Amino acid sequence: MNTVARTFEAYGETFIVVRTPPTLLLSELARTGSGDPSAIGVLAEFFEVILGPVEYRRFKRLSYAVEDPEIEGDLFQEAFMEAMEAISRVPSE
């Protein structure tokens, strides 16, 4: 059986989802709102968990490379939406 990995696009590159986030992490995401300062930490943890350490470092490097905060915020939001869609897909065979 050959399983095709779940992927999503962010910052012009493709990222592979290596792990589905635990339910507790998803509940933390739901609990924190966009105005909650702790939300950014939960979002960082979310990406670190689903991407694993190597892919997460690449994701973080690309995120930090965007100099305009407004553009970076928009790209990050798009990345999060793409990632949420990716984790909800069942890997295809």
User: What are the boundaries of each domain within the chain?
Assistant: 20-88
Residue 81 pLDDT > 80: yes
State yes or no: pLDDT of 5 exceeds 70: yes
In 3D, which of 59, 65, 62, 61 has the Cα closest to residue 83? Answer: 59
Residue 63 contacts residue 49 (beta carbons within 8 Å): no
Q: Residue 92: its pLDDT value, please?
A: 61
What is the maximum alpha-carbon separation in the chain? 44
* 12-66 tens-digit pLDDT: 999 999 999 999 998 988 888 766 777 788 899 999 999 999 999 999 999 999 9
Query: Alpha helix locations (H) across 1-93?
Result: 23-31, 39-65, 69-88
Full-model pTM: 0.85
Contacting residues for 17 by C-beta, under 8 A, at least 6 apart: 5, 6, 7, 8, 50, 51, 83, 86, 87
